[in-house]
Amino acid sequence: MRRVTLVSQALFGILLAAGVAFAAPPHTVTLAVENMTCGTCPIVVKKALERVPGVSATSVDFDKKTATVTYDPDKATSAKLTQATTEAGFPSKLVAKP
């Protein structure tokens, strides 16, 4: 019985490691965000982006009217990001994808 447990644990470890090895690297994009007119607007944009599954980091620059977003491409897309800001009242467009 102990041997079966050890084999099971080894197999689980290999599968877990393989899953991590095949995960896509995070993507970072910059969005041009419209309609930001006050200090509260970046907070609303940031919260809308953070609600998108797969988003791991957001930074909104009020002066430049941009949002920089890092996300897991297996869970989110740039289209979902622009949709989220648009639905919050702040239409956006993809301007940079390093």
Q: Using H for helix, E for strand and C for coil, what is the string for 2-29? A: HHHHHHHHHHHHHHHHHHHHCCCCCEEE
Taking the model in full, what pTM does it have?
0.75
Give mean pLDDT, residues 23-27: 90
- Domain 24-96 carries which CATH code? 3.30.70.100
Domain boundaries, the chain: 24-96
At 71-91, the pLDDT tens digits run 999 999 999 999 999 999 999
